[in-house]
Chain A
Amino acid sequence: MPWGGALLASILQNTLNALQWGSFYSLIALGYCLVYGVLLLINFAHGDVYMVGAYIAFFVATFLLASGGLPGWVVLAVTVPITMVLTAAVGVTLERVAYRPLRRKGAHRLYVVVTALMCGIILENGNLALLGAASRAFPELVTTTVFSLGDVKLTNLKVAVIVVAIGSFLILETIVSRTKIGMAMRALSYDRFALPLMGIPPDTVIVFTFVLGSSFAALAGLLFAMSYPVLDPYMGAMVGWKAFIAAVVGGIGEIRGAFAGGFLLGFVEIMVAAFLPSTFRDLIAFTILLFILWMKPTGLFGVARFQKI
């Protein structure tokens, strides 16, 4: 059955691509979900934090490559932590400069959301204004190895992306459900006013949340830059919105939901692009997501917050 075999191979290949594509969405959606879970704040700047992460990774990697004759994998190993720390600093700066003062003044939640949206635009256009419109090519740090299983092609990068996404999910899930600070995060999301009464400084918990979310966005940015080595200032905008949608479809505030939602969106997009004209991608992807929200109004894993009458 040559035809059936080709179809099977094509499906397998596309599934792999979808897993990779979904990994990026998942990593970004996790950041949305963490901040939302703790503060009920849609951090619309998160997609742009991911973009900033990719740029930081670019500058760090180019600098390291240029300054010493280090081998690629050493550069990568050094770039990852530096990028994560620097991007986390960007995320925390946003929280300190833009969100916290509003929260302190007791502003309506939606004003903080719109501030986040504005911060995202500032990051995008600030980048464009400072660094120019020329897109940058990310240096190749690790030689791509292709494994062929019949017609299905697998690169080491692809495998790494998927593994990192799953690993990040497991790490985050463990932090939130097993550790003390994770417990504080969950407590904060239930009652913001009770937390300080229990002797836990809420700002520390919030900063930690932003550190976590931003560093995983940085990881996504770095991996994306390695897989599709062209960077431009608006790369985070669209991906950010979509990842947010994925997080909501998964059930916002639920880490499992964000993870699953990201993969679901990636899967739908790749499959539509593979079998239909690519202009239909957004149309069908969003229609499917809308349908899911229609069937399950609180997302795949979300639980309706019961309001006491």
Chain B
Amino acid sequence: MALLDVKDVTQQFGGLRAVSSFSVALEERELVGLIGPNGAGKTTIFNLVSGFYQPTMGTIRFKDQPTAGLKPNHVTTLGVSRTFQNIRLWNDMTVLDNIRVAHHSQLSYGFFGCSFRSARYRDQEKDITANAMKTLEALDLDQYADEFPKNLPYGTRRKVEIARALSIHPRLLMLDEPAAGLNTADLTGLIDLIGWIHKEFPITIWMIEHQMQVVMSLCQRIQVIDFGATIAEGTPTEIQNNPAVIKAYLGDDTI
């Protein structure tokens, strides 16, 4: 049974078909890449899986459970976590708070718990703070715990966002262009980081990326889409030599 099973999903925005009959099955502990030219519909697929859009047609099943009709926060609690193309951290909250708030769905003390500082409140706050610090330490970010993300360099913000997504122990981590805007030094660090996460945590990683260096060195298999439809699938070397992929990226040279 696949962890994530996307079957024949189509997304229609008015007259525009952003995704058409897209299917993918991700197994446990895989590291899969999703590539394609700009506007191919990659982020739309992520948005569909994370529950921002409801697919026009087709089904998405996570852990064999259909996610149709679920709101993003509910999908996340099932174990799907993601980062964004343009970093979406809460900039006026400390890094530690950013990670703590990510545990929101695990809180059960509610309004009265936090007004009366009940025992449950104290336990849960202690737990999530400990867990957040553990995640920060694991990613070597603990020295930034009390900083505001807006004051951090871009590469570190990327890392904090990954830490936030990772801190809630997801089964599936979706990274939307994690290398966007990073310099060469940060890039090698990122490749190491993703590789390390994949090795260290029992997790499936699904990644959209344009940087071929990242995709080719990390992904076990790659899916290429163009105009919302899959055009190729396979191992990095297969993809590199696939004529359809070359055509989609470089255009038709048989003029």
Contact = CB atoms under 8 A, between A and B. Distances in A.
Question: Are A and B in direct contact (Cβ within 8 Å)?
Answer: yes
Contacts of B43: 309
Interface residues of B, number: 4
Contacts of B47: 309
Contacts of A309: 43, 47, 52, 84
A309 B43 CA distance: 8
Interface in A270-309: 309
A309 B86 CA distance: 8
Interface in B74-94: 84
Interface string B24-53: 000000000000000000010001000010
A307 to B, nearest CB: 10
A4 B47 CA distance: 59
Nearest to B43: A309
A309 B53 CA distance: 11
A309 B87 CA distance: 10
Nearest to B52: A309
A191 to B, nearest CB: 16
A309 B177 CA distance: 13
A309 B84 CA distance: 7
Contacts of B84: 309
A68 B65 CA distance: 86
A1 to B, nearest CB: 50
Interface string A132-166: 00000000000000000000000000000000000
Contacts of B52: 309
A288 to B, nearest CB: 30
A93 to B, nearest CB: 34
B181 to A, nearest CB: 16
B127 to A, nearest CB: 30
Interface string B87-122: 000000000000000000000000000000000000
B29 to A, nearest CB: 27
Nearest to A306: B13
Interface in A235-289: none
Interface string A161-186: 00000000000000000000000000
A309 B52 CA distance: 9
B176 to A, nearest CB: 9
A309 B50 CA distance: 11
A18 to B, nearest CB: 36
B206 to A, nearest CB: 16
A74 B106 CA distance: 75
B208 to A, nearest CB: 13
B12 to A, nearest CB: 15
Interface string B48-64: 00001000000000000
A305 to B, nearest CB: 15
A309 B47 CA distance: 8
A309 B176 CA distance: 10
B90 to A, nearest CB: 16
A3 to B, nearest CB: 50
A309 B82 CA distance: 12
A107 to B, nearest CB: 15
A168 B47 CA distance: 44
A100 to B, nearest CB: 25
A102 to B, nearest CB: 19
A309 B45 CA distance: 12
Interface in B197-244: none
A13 B52 CA distance: 51
A13 to B, nearest CB: 44
B8 to A, nearest CB: 23
B196 to A, nearest CB: 27
Interface of A: 309
Interface of B: 43, 47, 52, 84
4 contacts: A309-B43, A309-B47, A309-B52, A309-B84
Counting from the closest, the 4 A-B pairs by CB-CB distance are: A309-B47, A309-B52, A309-B43, A309-B84
